Amino acid sequence: MNAEIITIGTEILIGQIIDTNSAWIGEQLNSIGIQVNRITSISDKKDHIISSLDKAFQDNDIIIMTGGLGPTNDDITKKVLTEYFNTELVLNEECLTNVKEIFQRFNREVSEVNLLQSHVPKACIPIINKAGTAPGMWFEKEGKILVSTAGVPFEMKWLMTNEILPRLKEKFELPHILHHTTLTTGEGESTIAERLIDFEVNLPMHFDIAYLPSPGRVRIRLSGQSTSFKQLELEMSELISSLELLLEDLIYGYGKEDLSEVIGGLLMSNNQTVSVAESCTGGAISISFVANSGSSDYYKGGVVSYWEEVKSNVLNVSPDIIKQFGVVSEEVAIAMAKGVKSTLNSSCSISTTGIAGPDGGTLDNPVGKVCVATVVGKETVSNTYYFGGSRSKVIERAKYAALNQLRLQLLSIRK
């Protein structure tokens, strides 16, 4: 079963707002086994709406249309749909009651324009919108479905969740779709793809693989489709096991997990705490811990020692070490990690020192060079990394490398 999502509104086309509705609707449709073939964004112009409807009905079974149902003059979706289905607007008593109830709740008089929202095309099944004044409209045409909803995200979500998705499940016999995302860090997209050449070749026809790279990590998504959910689950779990064997060292989590959250779990299961000393990453590692609700259970705090004197005064890094090895060195990183661990009295620590660029690089210390030290109890690990990209990319990549270094160390000690 194929679907198209059509969003209406000039604000999307000029980049004033980012269309988050479509991603949400796509995820929801997909989860009940409806495949989204196309997302189209157009302006509030009659001929654009009509030509998009023609094309959508031609290619797809289900059309979800959002936007252009407000009470003001620039909202023309309902008028255009009435014309498209060659019908007329009629007052719907149930919709009128709903609008009146909503205004009553806020102790306000129903305005003239809002009363007009209770008029719906005669050819549609109106869907009462408990989250707003614009009803949803369900049209059927030669076995195909078009549903129009308001574009305001919480109204659209209410209608989709409570009315439209249940009705679609009832109307169509849908296949099962399963997605699984594996999160990796430590290698780029192409290196991972090379490791998975055989895996890809042997992937069952009803499965797909996709690589989703972002600075510092690559997400790998497996998608399968079948009429038997049990079979699908079984196949998926076998594929994940193969993937784990092939990429074991790179996998840090699954789904929407964050690397810092994974580390939080490891620390907590062992009653450990962490502190962070950052130079070039400037607080990025600390905020990635703090972003997780409940992180105070394992994250004690951090020091951003951007100036050399802060490294010496707060983290007790000896000026001699800095002089001897240079500020971007594993020796200094180790001294920073030990210093913050002792000052903040934590059981583990992470440190970074490097050149984020774009300026400040030298032959010995090129832009992108980052030294990372991690301490777990009495064991210290240090590494030097070379990252590419802009200042923000170097910081992001260094953050993932530093976090992953601690993760691997925590795991290796456990074994």
Rounded to 10°, the helix 259-268/391-414 angle is 30
Q: Based on CB atoms, which residue is closest to a second copy, 138 or 199?
A: 199
Q: Per rule CB under 8 A, is residue 246 in the interface with a second copy? A: no
Q: Per rule CB under 8 A, is residue 106 in the interface with a second copy? A: yes
Position among 1, 32, 37, 167 found at the interface with a second copy (CB under 8 A): 37
Q: Which residue stretch of 12-20, 88-96, 139-147, 320-328 sits at the interface with a second copy (rule: CB under 8 A)? A: 12-20
Within 145-272, residue ranges assigned H as helices are 153-159, 165-171, 189-195, 197-201, 229-247, 259-268
DSSP string, 91-139: E-HHHHHHHHHHHHHTT-PPPHHHHHTTEEETTSEEE--TTSSS-EEEE
Position among 46, 59, 269, 324 found at the interface with a second copy (CB under 8 A): 59
* Nearest CA among 362, 366, 369, 361 for reference residue 386: 369
Position among 66, 129, 226, 305 found at the interface with a second copy (CB under 8 A): 305
Q: What kind and span of H or E run contains 342?
A: helix 330-343
Position among 190, 237, 269, 324 found at the interface with a second copy (CB under 8 A): 190
Q: Per rule CB under 8 A, is residue 180 in the interface with a second copy? A: no
Q: How far apart are CA 64 and CA 396, in angstroms?
A: 37
Report how many residues bind a second copy under the rule CB under 8 A: 108
Q: Per rule CB under 8 A, is residue 114 in the interface with a second copy? A: yes
Q: Which residue stretch of 86-94, 136-144, 161-169, 189-197 sits at the interface with a second copy (rule: CB under 8 A)? A: 189-197
3-state secondary structure of 185: coil
Position among 32, 50, 96, 193 found at the interface with a second copy (CB under 8 A): 193
Q: Which residue stretch of 6-14, 76-84, 225-233, 238-246 sits at the interface with a second copy (rule: CB under 8 A)? A: 6-14
CA angle (351, 355, 361) in 5-degree steps: 155
Q: Which x/- pattern, by CB under 8 A, does the window 256-285 give for a second copy?
A: --------------------x-x-xxxxxx
Q: Smallest gap, in angstroms, from Cβ of residue 334 to a second copy?
A: 19
Q: Per rule CB under 8 A, is residue 70 in the interface with a second copy? A: yes
Q: Smallest gap, in angstroms, from Cβ of residue 394 to a second copy?
A: 11
Q: Based on CB atoms, which residue is closest to a second copy, 66 or 286?
A: 286
Position among 287, 316, 326, 361 found at the interface with a second copy (CB under 8 A): 287
Find the binding residues for a second copy in span 144-173 (CB under 8 A). 152, 154
Q: Which residue stretch of 66-74, 85-93, 235-243, 372-380 sits at the interface with a second copy (rule: CB under 8 A)? A: 66-74
Q: Smallest gap, in angstroms, from Cβ of residue 80 to a second copy?
A: 16
Q: Based on CB atoms, which residue is closest to a second copy, 15 or 143?
A: 15
Instruction: Count CA atoms closer than 13 A to 408's CA, side-chain side.
Output: 19
Position among 1, 30, 165, 174 found at the interface with a second copy (CB under 8 A): 30
Q: Per rule CB under 8 A, is residue 359 in the interface with a second copy? A: yes
Position among 94, 189, 198, 249 found at the interface with a second copy (CB under 8 A): 189
Q: Which residue stretch of 67-75, 121-129, 162-170, 228-236 sits at the interface with a second copy (rule: CB under 8 A)? A: 67-75
Q: Per rule CB under 8 A, is residue 48 in the interface with a second copy? A: yes
Q: How far apart are CA 82 and CA 384, in angstroms?
A: 65
> What's the token pair of residue 2?
């194929």
SS3 percent helix, strand, coil of the chain, rounded to 5, is 45, 25, 30
* Nearest CA among 258, 241, 253, 242 for reference residue 182: 253
Q: Per rule CB under 8 A, is residue 364 in the interface with a second copy? A: no
Q: How far apart are CA 73 and CA 76, in angstroms?
A: 7
DSSP string, 278-291: ESTTTTHHHHHHHT
Look up tokens 């409209």; give the residue: 137
Q: Which x/- pattern, by CB under 8 A, does the window 367-396 give for a second copy?
A: -------------------x-xxxxxx-x-
CA angle (123, 126, 131) in 5-degree steps: 155
Q: Based on CB atoms, which residue is closest to a second copy, 87 or 272?
A: 272
Phi, psi values for residue 17, rounded to 5°: -130, 155
Q: Smallest gap, in angstroms, from Cβ of residue 368 to a second copy?
A: 8
Let me know: does 46 contact 80? Beta carbons within 8 Å: yes
Q: What kind and span of H or E run contains 148?
A: strand 144-149
* Nearest CA among 116, 50, 119, 117 for reference residue 86: 50
Q: Smallest gap, in angstroms, from Cβ of residue 390 to a second copy?
A: 7
